[in-house]
Amino acid sequence: MPMEVVRGRSWGRPELAPGPLDHAFFEAAARGELWYQRCPACGHAQFYPRALCTACGGNPVWATASGRGVVHSFTIVRQNGQPPFKDELPYAVAMIELEEGVRMMGNVTDCPVESVRIGMSVEAYAVECGDGLAVPFWRPAASP
Ligand SMILES: [Zn+2]
């Protein structure tokens, strides 16, 4: 099932400046797909995107993740003077372990920060940020 993509919300954050390796990741997010890399030679899954498989040196290709994962680790940010972040305090930044085994960092939203726990089931959604790109965020899974 594709990720929900929130469109038309003011981004307000620093503009993305994706490079040649990760531009496709943010384009896929704008279509509701959460991408990671998989190596056709050895099956290794990896994220962030790299030119070579870190296990065998092969050429990784993009794969679409389920968008489901669990909180592997997290922190609660209580001080940030920069807009728009200062208006969102406190907020949770987490390392999410996807069902596919790779980890992605992102904000956990749509719940009180006090309820975020290691092992908590989360699902990805994306927020459009202009130029046909979107950034994945995380929220408590609808069906844990
Ligand atoms: Zn490989």
For the chain, what are the domain ranges? 4-35+65-140
Which pLDDT does position 140 carry in this prediction?
98
- From the CA of 102, how far away is ligand 1's center (Å)? 14
Compute, in angstroms, the gap from residue 72 CA to the centroid of ligand 1: 24
Distance, CA 44 to ligand 1 centroid (Å)?
A: 5
Report the pLDDT averaged over residues 24-34. Answer: 98
What value does the mean pLDDT take over residues 63-91? 96
Q: Residue 137 pLDDT more than 60?
A: yes
**Cα 134 to averaged position of ligand 1 atoms, centre (Å):** 28
**Mean pLDDT value of segment 112-128:** 98
Q: How many Å lie between the centroid of ligand 1 and the Cα of residue 46?
A: 10
Determine how β-strand 121-130 pairs with β-strand 4-6: parallel
Q: What is the 3-state secondary structure (H, E, C) of 1-53?
A: CCCEEECCCCCCCCCCCCCCCCHHHHHHHHCCCCEEEECCCCCCEECCCCCCC
Buried b (16+ CB within 10 A) or exposed e, 90-100: ebbebebbbeb
* Distance from residue 37's CA to the centre of ligand 1 (Å): 10
What pLDDT is recorded for position 106? 97
Is omega for the bond preceding 48 within 30 degrees of 0, making it cis?
yes
Distance 82 CA to ligand 1 centre (A): 40
Please state which CATH class domain 4-35+65-140 belongs to: mainly beta
Q: Measured in angstroms, how far is the CA atom of residue 45 from the centroid of ligand 1?
A: 8
Determine the pLDDT at residue 2: 85
75 CA to middle of ligand 1, Å? Answer: 32
CA of 15 from ligand 1 middle (Å) equals 33
The pLDDT tens digits for 44-72 are 999 999 999 999 999 999 999 999 999 99
